[in-house]
Structure 1
Amino acid sequence: MTTTPYPPELLRDVEKRRTFAIISHPDAGKTTLTEKLLLFGGAIQLAGTVKARKSARHATSDWMEVEKQRGISVTSSVMQFEYQGHTINLLDTPGHEDFSEDTYRVLTAVDAAVMVIDAAKGVEVQTIKLLNVCRLRNTPIITFVNKMDREVRDPFELMAEIEDVLKISCAPVTWPIGMGKTFRGVYHLLQDQVLSFVPGEEKRSHAGIIKGIANPELDQRFPLEIRQLRDDVELIEGASPPFDLDAFLAGQQSPVFFGSGINNFGVQEILQSLIDWAPPPQARDATARMVQPAEPAFTGFVFKIQANMDPKHRDRIAFFRICSGRYSAGMKVRHVRAGRDMKLANVLTFMANERVIMDDGVAGDIVGIHNHGQLQIGDTLTEGESLSFKGIPYFSPEMFRVARLRDPLKSKQLQKGLQELGEEGAIQVFELEGGQMLLGAVGVLQFEIVAQRLKDEYKVDAIFESADIHTARWLSYPDELTRRNFEYEQAMRMGKDIDGNPVYLASSRYNLAVTAEKWPQVTFHATREHGQVLS
């Protein structure tokens, strides 16, 4: 008699998890799709839409005041809901490229992704970057071609562009009938049925489904579009590869759906595909070994820190991906980096900015742990085993600014605010000789957001001035003597990052090259992994 190596109840619960992120270029409709998935999943009763700044409603996933004002997502949101007997963990990510590091971190915590493409614009710069990050882990990708209710590009042209630019095979699952004012719906190739489009319909009724592409009813309903649809389908069946589940799970093929998120059309098919095809939680590389999701021992890692989600309570939440075992309220775990035990009390699950105390969680679930500075991005928690889950690195910033106070009496508030925002990953913070704080970012918008958050959340009015710095490099030394000699000679160019790691701040590309040539025994790192300690 054979027995399963894992607890049957735990195995069953893990199999019911689906954890995915939504990725796109800004304005492709990612946050709107997030809202509509929540609507179809029954998690919310009324979808908020991203409107003008005076609008009373905003996207449910955009909880930060600055997001409501600007109509963009600048943080990652986590939302959990039940659908068809499955637990869905949905992560909405920033679309703006200036917040790409936050998105990269989130993509380490998911098992699949939905890529949203604007049907009028096609593949855009940020989409390319995000897909390349997904490709590092062979993350399965579902493609949603959005905004078909507008005048858009030819669908065959869009498919060819996705394949050529993103280097991923496309398998159309639904195909559009018309576009813009003549958008009539989609044909589902796998189910051989037409799903007719009615603008603004919250949830499609069965009356809108017509079985069979040869059905004479189609000729009556869509006399101007049906011939084109039949020609397109014949071409697809002859030229495009059919959907292959194994190729999808390997990250080599993407099933493609067409629709209109703002009109709720095509959303249900995306949700169903996640249930039917997206993988449950997978094994994770924990350096020492691969951790299986249904192992009884609890493990997981912190992939994000968020300060002040609730400004009234000045809280800080560590977003934690459970990788194995089962969470239970009040359990004790080992904080591997710190080498000490900690109790997990009042762990949260999220519905955007709504919080619920969590009593039970398994691999795939994203939970929030109240954090008073003890947890950092990349930290691993286990039930005793010394593991370290591999993460996405910090990248050397492309822009640098020095923070200056308008009110010198608020230096402590500034230091605290920058410390917390740095630990959160909103911006990179380096401490210079004499305690001066230097900020590093990917783009200008990061500085604007940090300035606004300092003002709103910490009551600190600061201005950011340009710094004479070209790039930053993390340092590691072969021995203590080399470290002392290098840091003595280069004292004016030295700083420390938020975790206390030594950083060389080069004034130019030439300055970096000359210093590296003079000190061949010192290693200059353009990246470092979260939680990695350099010496």
Structure 2
Amino acid sequence: MSNTPAAEAARRRTFAIISHPDAGKTTLTENLLLAGGAIRAAGQVRARGENRRTRSDWMKIERERGISVSASVMTFDHDGLMFNLLDTPGHEDFSEDTYRTLTAADAAVMVLDAAKGIEPQTLKLFEVCRLRDIPIVTFINKMDREAQDPFALLDEIATKLQLDPAPLYWPAGSGGRFKGMIDLRAQTFIPYNRNRDEGHDPAVPLNGNAVDRYLDPAEREEAEEGAMLVQEASKPFDPEAFLEGHMTPVIFGSALRHFGVDELLATLGAFAPPPKAVKVEKGGQTSEVSPGDPEVSGFVFKVQANMDPNHRDRIAFFRLTSGKFQRGMKLKSQGTGKQMSVNAPIMFFASDRELAEEAFAGDVIGIPNHGVLRVGDSLSETGTLRFAGLPNFAPEILRRVRVRDPLKAKHLKKALEGLAEEGVTQLFRPELGSDFVVGAVGQLQFEVMADRLGNEYALDVIFEASPFAEARWLGGTDADIENFRSTHRTAMASDIDNSPVFLAKSAWEINYVAERYPKVSFQRTRERG
């Protein structure tokens, strides 16, 4: 196959995994890496020491709590395709980080717990996918435990998500009675083995006697009847409807027992879309950038500091949208016009990092930098392309923060600015008073902040109640904003980009001032980049 940007982009599959906490996302991630040949045995990377972790959960607080707090990427080559798996935080407090990660994904795998179905957080994340027209593959996990009736699960997908479920497989039993699944297209039976170390037997034809080794007559009748019913009741899988976001192919399995994972990977390879053309602004005009275009371009959707505790590193996650990137290339930022040589770009292969000699549209590379790159930055060879910015959301909780040792106040400012640039927190500097106000979408973010400020910056901080409950970005003419600011000095602050922010004591106060100042808009979101 030719090594042209268009041909290379066509073999990329960049996808994210979305789920409710505890649905088994991290286990599925590990087993996808195993199925893709990126690791040799599930869990073996962790067994070889903390610095060789398969799982993306590298932060101390993640290891202690068993939750994913920061999104990362893992790349693996399988069956002639290059897969980029974007791991997203599963905890609801980190929806903003998840939203940004989904801007870099071309497809998503929605993991449902077979016993719980669609949970509130899954619904929230699904809405984000719908906003961005991201096609979704559904993996119903934990079939080896007690589960809801599969028809009820499909019905829930149809009613709660307004999405046509199209099962590609049908389970035979669940919990202790789980015996495997029927491949509805190939008309074969895929046996399940409870002892994962022995592996699972290969599929056998459904119309012969080989199935009788795995299912007794009653089980076989039940499975075949269910398969027949679901094919009559469901719309047949239509790849076009899937790509348009109207239909989701459904696979059943158990990530922990590595069952159904190979089928999920094959489904992603066959049906998930390669990178597509992206809208871009150039010289005030809106146009599109195609993956096969010669100019290298892309955007930063995440910045992560201190991934390696031995080095105070700072890595920008850069999603390529066009061209053939080569190590040592010079890229320009659209916002600042600054040019940078990308001499040590990183590819993330499971637990390993390697220098990326080349990369194409769909790939995500890590660019080490010292505070030069920010979330939402657009980079290209000419520096003239601007991709839509990534959103900041109005925080739901505001806290004042100070450091116990007053001599370290300067260090605190630098550390908070670093975390704000990563998107871990939002930082507001009130115009009056010296305490910083930090904003977060949920309580857990403050715990992560305190943990990281302690471990990475040796700062012992205190979060205190803030007199403010709401934050809104101000929009309008400079004169109108200045008029508002002059009469509300005590409630004014600026964010990390020096944009004006109104800090209100309540939602009622926002409505009150909005009525009195109709020329000023009070915005819940602001684009970065």
Q: Same fold (TM over 0.5)?
A: yes
The aligned counterpart of 1:363 is 361
Q: Which amino acid is the alignment partner of residue 452 of structure 2?
A: R
- In the alignment, structure 2 segments of 5+ residues that lack a partner are none
- 1:39 aligns with one of 22, 34, 39: 34
The aligned counterpart of 2:447 is 448
The structural deviation recorded for 1:517 is 1.8
Q: Which amino acid is the alignment partner of residue 359 of structure 1?
A: E
Aligned residues: 520
Following the alignment from structure 2 to structure 1, what is the Cα–Cα distance between the partners of residues 298 and 173?
Answer: 47
Q: Which amino acid is the alignment partner of residue 348 of structure 2?
A: F
The structural deviation recorded for 1:56 is 11
Whether 1:80 aligns to 2:75 is yes
Equivalent position SS for 1:289: strand
Cα 1:56/1:86, change in 2 over 3 Å = closer
Whether 1:217 aligns to 2:218 is no
Q: Which amino acid is the alignment partner of residue 215 of structure 1?
A: G
The two structures have a TM-score, normalised by structure 2, of 0.95
The aligned counterpart of 2:376 is 378
Deviations, residues 326-375 of structure 1 (Å, cap 9, x unaligned):
11111112210002322112111113553111110000000011121111
The structural deviation recorded for 1:49 is 9.1
Q: Which amino acid is the alignment partner of residue 300 of structure 2?
A: V
Cα 1:49/1:400, change in 2 over 3 Å = farther
For the aligned residue pairs, the C-alpha RMSD in angstroms reads: 2.0
The two structures have a TM-score, normalised by structure 1, of 0.94
Equivalent position SS for 2:459: coil
Within-5 A mapping of 1:244-263? 244-263=238-257
The structural deviation recorded for 1:385 is 5.1
Whether 1:432 aligns to 2:430 is yes
The aligned counterpart of 1:482 is 480
- 1:116 aligns with one of 111, 114, 120: 111
- 1:180 aligns with one of 145, 154, 175: 175
Q: Which amino acid is the alignment partner of residue 68 of structure 1?
A: R
Deviations, residues 173-230 of structure 1 (Å, cap 9, x unaligned):
111111111110011101111110012435856x432112x32332453113101011
CA contact (8 A) 1:309 1:353 kept: no
Following the alignment from structure 1 to structure 2, what is the Cα–Cα distance between the partners of residues 33 and 473?
Answer: 38
The aligned counterpart of 1:396 is 394
CA contact (8 A) 1:474 1:528 kept: yes
Within-5 A mapping of 1:305-344? 305-344=303-342
Cα 1:458/1:482, change in 2 over 3 Å = same
- In the alignment, structure 1 segments of 5+ residues that lack a partner are 1-6
The structural deviation recorded for 1:63 is 1.1
Cα 1:174/1:202, change in 2 over 3 Å = farther
Following the alignment from structure 1 to structure 2, what is the Cα–Cα distance between the partners of residues 308 and 114?
Answer: 28
Cα 1:226/1:57, change in 2 over 3 Å = farther
- 2:524 aligns with one of 523, 526, 530: 526
* Worse-superposed segment, 83-92 or 483-492: 483-492
Following the alignment from structure 1 to structure 2, what is the Cα–Cα distance between the partners of residues 56 and 391?
Answer: 34
Following the alignment from structure 2 to structure 1, what is the Cα–Cα distance between the partners of residues 141 and 278?
Answer: 32
The aligned counterpart of 2:23 is 28
Whether 1:228 aligns to 2:228 is no
Cα 1:414/1:352, change in 2 over 3 Å = farther
Following the alignment from structure 2 to structure 1, what is the Cα–Cα distance between the partners of residues 447 and 198?
Answer: 39
Identity of aligned residues (%): 49
Within-5 A mapping of 1:131-146? 131-146=126-141
The structural deviation recorded for 1:510 is 2.3
